[in-house]
Amino acid sequence: MLVAKADAVKVIFLGGLGEIGRNCACLEVEGRLIVIDVGIMFPEPDMPGVDLVLPDLTFLRENADRVDGIVLTHGHEDHVGGLSYLLRDLEAPIYGAPLTVGIASNRIREAGLLDKTSFIEVADGEVHRIGPCDVEFIPVTHSVPSAFAIAFHTPQGIVLHSGDFKIDLAPVDGRRTDLARIGELAKTAGIRLLLADSTNAEEPGFTASETTVGETLRRVFAMRPGRRIIVACFASHLHRVQQIIDAAHASGRKVATLGRSMKNNVELARKLGILEVPKGAMIDITEIDSLEPGQVCVISTGSQGEPMAAMSLMAAGQSRFLELGEGDVVILSAHPIPGNEWSVGRVIDELHRRGAEVIHSAHEAVHVSGHARRGELATLLSVAKPDCFIPVHGEYRHLIHHAQLAESMGIDAERIVLSEDGDVVRLDAKGLRKESRVPAGYLYVDGAAGDVDHGILRDRKVLASEGMVMVVATVDLSARDVVAGPEVLTRGWVGPSEELLTVEAADRVRAALLDALREGTHDVEGLNRVARRALGRFVGTRTRQKPMIVPIVVVI
């Protein structure tokens, strides 16, 4: 492919490469920056007390004056959930489909940051000038309506980001992945660099169409007359919600929503004409008890077993609106995302305990993925015919499998760059290569308290796995003596023969403090250090454990 001698274009990856979630990348063209998505990630099991994880936003904070805009591929939390954190540090307009922008703006409004941005609603196929770049928004199918692939027309040729996508040939709203447009770009200007979703790169074949779920739901509903049906799914999966409403309507049921995000998204989607609800089909959740069980369908949040969501509350018998029991049917119309399997399993157990029938994807096809499998990934590669390729969005193994697939499709190995979070990749006339690194560590957020740094998380892990050993002593500086204690206290720690240890340990700390006083250590910090070291060494050699050591030396 012929590329004019022009400025290099760079892609800076801040999140989503090597993990599922916190998707965030940045395109640098002629020294200006466009941000692509700012998502969150749900915490891993070894992150106690962490509510969510953000991309490291240091690079964007330090280059805030170069950012011309933020473009959104779609409305999932792992793509838009971090916007309210980024907008603390910089001001820039946000471009996205009306639904995407509607979902994103809720969070930004809650954070009181609406004045830091403006929302530019983009229609399918539109081109917007952002900084030095024409940016084209191309429809793709995914598990939320109105998703885009985004084509950036740069001096180095077209950079195409697939966003999250699948190639659904029978989507619920008839809006298909616009392969024709991608093919046209490939035939005319040519696609210089493709960045594509790797989530299902290990899965062979093709992801089933969303409409197959509708057929299953209609059958499952029809086979359970006279019984109340509760379906849980992602609140943003409005095509799923549409199919649940349709199945309910066809079986003579009224529909109520349960859970705040479900209610908000259904309202937003009705306003935008994305959801079509037959007249009189929806009722308020407070009205369900006035109907026969066979006339009721409830659409609920909490398909991921989130502890405070509607489904978990129902399973625990704590819902204000609905008491589950014998005869009720619960359909979990979602797969647990990695890390949530355990919580979902507990909820399923509790639902069984209440006597409900539980239907999930192990017995019926009540869910399909929103991500392309290998067949679809190969289709995109063959239509886009990219000169260069970077797999994005996925764990490391997904990225590797996607890179191998691209190579098998005829892309030169040296034109495929396996990148990870923090990589700055340079595209110029010579090709594609890694150039440098930017900070890309995890940024932890504890909902109530705000940012959690690595030190706090390390402390929490030590407390959770090893417990704490504390020593309290009072020191008289003029007498150079320990006048009270040392007393050793433990919390959550299991030491062999704890009493003996606490007596011996206290003696060791006393001896160390007396030595230090004699040698002239007279400051509180110094004495605390001495106490910590003496106790830590004692506990370590006697027990081979590493609990948290907390010294409290009081000086009089």
| Least distance (Å) between residue 287 CB and Zn ion | 33
Residue 210 contacts Zn ion per CB under 5 A = no
Per-residue DSSP letters for 363-399?
TS-----SS--HHHHHHHHHHH--SEEEEESB-HHHH
Nearer to Zn ion, 194 or 255 (CB): 194
The interface region with Zn ion, picked from 78-86, 325-333, 425-433, 529-537 by CB under 5 A, is 78-86
Residue 357: enclosing H or E segment and its boundaries? strand 357-359
Which residue has tokens 């400051």?
A: 523
- Given the residues 56, 78, 168, 197, select the one marked as catalytic: 197
Per CB under 5 A, does 22 bind Zn ion? no
* 119 phi and psi angles, rounded to 5 deg: -100, 125
Nearest Cα neighbor of 193 from 481, 410, 385, 377 is: 385
Question: What gap in Å lies between CA 262 and CA 270, rounded to an integer?
Answer: 12
Provide, rounded to whole angstroms, the least separation between the CB of residue 99 and Zn ion: 13
- State the Cα–Cα distance between residues 241 and 246, nearest whole angstrom: 9
Our CA dihedral for 51, 55, 61, 63, rounded to 10 degrees, sits at -170
Size of the site for Zn ion (CB under 5 A): 3
Give the residue with the Cβ less far from Zn ion, 164 or 350: 164
Between 122 and 472, CB nearer to Zn ion: 122
Please, is 295 exposed, middle or buried when counting C-beta atoms within 10 Å of its C-beta (0-12, 13-18, 19+)? Answer: middle
Which range, of 156-164, 399-407, 486-494, 536-544, touches Zn ion by CB under 5 A?
A: 156-164
Residue nearer to Zn ion on the CB measure, 56 or 197: 197
Between 140 and 186, CB nearer to Zn ion: 140
Q: Which is nearer to Zn ion, 78 or 421 (CB)?
A: 78
Distance in angstroms (rounded) separating the CA atoms of residues 253 and 296? 5
Q: Using CA atoms of 345, 347, 352, 354 in order, give the dihedral in degrees to the nearest 10.
A: 160
| Smallest distance, Zn ion to C-beta of residue 259, A | 19
* Cα dihedral across residues 189, 190, 192, 196: positive or negative: positive
The reply on whether position 371 binds Zn ion by CB under 5 A is: no
Stretch that binds Zn ion, among 58-66, 162-170, 182-190, 304-312 (CB under 5 A): 162-170
CA distance 421 to 437: 9
Closer CB to Zn ion, 152 or 165, in the complex: 165
- Residue placing its CB nearer to Zn ion in the complex, 76 or 249: 76
Distance CA 207, CA 143 (A): 12
192 lines the binding site for Zn ion (CB under 5 A): no
What's the closest the beta carbon of residue 19 comes to Zn ion, in angstroms?
11
Secondary structure string (H, E, C) spanning 213-252: HHHHHHHHHHCCCCCCEEEECCCCCHHHHHHHHHHHHHCC
- Scan residues 235-274 and list those touching Zn ion (CB under 5 A): none
DSSP H or E segment with residue 135:
strand 133-140
Q: Minimum Å distance from CB 468 to Zn ion?
A: 39
The sign of the CA dihedral 187, 188, 191, 192 is positive
Q: Which of 78, 168, 210, 421 binds Zn ion (CB under 5 A)?
A: 78
For 174, left (φ over 0), alpha (ψ -120 to 50), or beta?
A: left
Query: What is the distance between the alpha carbons of residues 463 and 145, in angstroms, rounded to a whole number?
Result: 44
Among the listed residues 10, 76, 239, 401, the single contact to Zn ion using CB under 5 A: 76
Is 371 in the active site? yes
CA dist., res. 74 & res. 462, Å (int): 38
What residue type is assigned to position 271 of the chain? K
77 binds Zn ion (CB under 5 A): no
Question: What phi and psi, each to the nearest 5 degrees, are found at residue 155?
Answer: -60, -20
CA distance linking residue 442 with residue 53, whole number of Å: 6
Percent of residues in the chain assigned helix, strand, coil, to nearest 5: 35, 25, 40
For Zn ion, the closer CB: 22 or 192: 22
Question: Across the strands, what pairs with 232?
Answer: 300, 332
Nearer to Zn ion, 358 or 372 (CB): 372
Q: Does 164 bind Zn ion (CB under 5 A)?
A: yes
Q: Which stretch binds Zn ion (CB under 5 A): 160-168, 251-259, 423-431, 531-539?
A: 160-168
Separation CA 197–CA 381 (nearest Å): 11
Q: How far is CA 407 from CA 118, 306, 387, 468, in A?
A: 41, 40, 12, 52
CA distance 328 to 314: 12
Active-site residue among 79, 249, 360, 371?
371
CB nearer to Zn ion: give 172 or 298: 172
Catalytic residue at 197?
A: yes
Chain residues that interact with Zn ion, rule: CB under 5 A: 76, 78, 164
Catalytic residues: 197, 371
